[in-house]
Structure 1
Amino acid sequence: MKNSGTPPALVPQAEAGDVGPGWRRNALRDVGARLTDPGFPCVFARNAYRKGLLRFVFADDGGPRGIEQLGTGLTDYVQLSRRWDDTLDTAYPLVAVFAPDAVPTSSLAGHHAFGWRVLQDLHARDPEPWPEGVGKDPESASWSLCFNGMALFVNMSSPAHRVRRSRNLGRHFALVINPRERFDVFAGDTPSGRKVRANIRGRIGRYDGTPHAPQLGSYGAGALEWLQYGLVEENRDRTDRCPFAFRGA
Structure 2
Amino acid sequence: MLINQGELADLTERFLWGRAVILYILTKFEDEAGSRAGFPCFFAQNAVRRGRLRFLLVPYDLENARYELDHLACGLRSYIEEIDIDTLDISHHRPLLVLFEPVPSLTTRNNFKQIFIEAMQYLLDHDQRPWPSHVSKDPAHHTWTMCFHGCELFVNVSHPAHVLRRSRNMGAGLAFVINPRKIFDIAAPANRRGRAVMAKIRRNIDVYDDVSHSPLLGSYLLGEAQWPQYMIDDNNEDEPLQCPLRFY
TM-score normalized by structure 1?
A: 0.89
**Residue correspondences, number:** 238
Does 2:187 correspond to 1:186? Answer: yes
Query: Which residues of 2 match residues 38-117 of structure 1 at below 5 A?
Result: 39-61=38-60, 66-82=68-84, 85-101=87-103, 105-117=106-118
Q: Give 3-state SS (helix, strand or coil) of 1:35's partner.
A: coil
Q: Which runs of 4+ in 1 moved over 3 A?
A: 62-65
Amino acid at match of 1:189: A
- Residues of 2 paired with 1:104 and 1:129: CA distance? 36
- Residues of 2 paired with 1:135 and 1:220: CA distance? 15
69-78 or 235-244, which deviates more: 235-244
In 2, are the aligned partners of 1:112 and 1:156 still within 8 Å (CA)?
no
In 2, are the aligned partners of 1:128 and 1:147 still within 8 Å (CA)?
yes
106-115 or 25-34, which deviates more: 106-115
- Residues of 1 paired with 2:169 and 2:241: CA distance? 22
- Residues of 2 paired with 1:182 and 1:222: CA distance? 16
Q: For 1:54-94, what per-residue CA distance to the aligned partner results, in whole angstroms no more than 9, with x for missing partners?
A: 11110112777621111111001111112663322321100
Q: For 1:154-212, what per-residue CA distance to the aligned partner results, in whole angstroms no more than 9, with x for missing partners?
A: 00010110011000111121111000000011113221111111000000000003210
Q: Give 3-state SS (helix, strand or coil) of 1:81's partner.
A: coil
Deviation at 1:104, TM superposition (A): 5.1
CA RMSD of aligned residues (A): 1.9
- Residues of 2 paired with 1:181 and 1:111: CA distance? 26
Q: Tell me: CA distance 1:105–1:189, structure 2 relative to 1, closer, same or farther (3 Å).
A: same
- How many percent of aligned residue pairs carry the same amino acid? 37
- Residues of 2 paired with 1:65 and 1:107: CA distance? 16
Query: Which structure 2 segments of 5+ residues have no match?
Result: 32-36
Query: Which residues of 2 match residues 97-246 of structure 1 at below 5 A?
Result: 97-101=99-103, 105-236=106-237, 238=239, 240-246=241-247
Q: Tell me: CA distance 1:240–1:169, structure 2 relative to 1, closer, same or farther (3 Å).
A: closer
Deviation at 1:240, TM superposition (A): 4.5
In 1, are the aligned partners of 2:60 and 2:67 still within 8 Å (CA)?
yes
Q: Give 3-state SS (helix, strand or coil) of 2:115's partner.
A: helix
Does 2:35 correspond to 1:36? Answer: no
Q: Tell me: CA distance 1:158–1:84, structure 2 relative to 1, closer, same or farther (3 Å).
A: farther
- Residues of 2 paired with 1:84 and 1:125: CA distance? 25
- Residues of 2 paired with 1:15 and 1:115: CA distance? 26
- Residues of 1 paired with 2:160 and 2:137: CA distance? 30
- Residues of 2 paired with 1:104 and 1:145: CA distance? 29
Query: Which structure 1 segments of 5+ residues have no match?
Result: 1-8
- Residues of 1 paired with 2:164 and 2:55: CA distance? 26
Deviation at 1:238, TM superposition (A): 1.9
70-79 or 185-194, which deviates more: 185-194
Q: Give 3-state SS (helix, strand or coil) of 2:157's partner.
A: strand
Amino acid at match of 1:80: E
TM-score normalized by structure 2?
A: 0.89
Q: 1:12 aligns with which of 4, 29, 34?
A: 4
Q: Tell me: CA distance 1:15–1:83, structure 2 relative to 1, closer, same or farther (3 Å).
A: farther
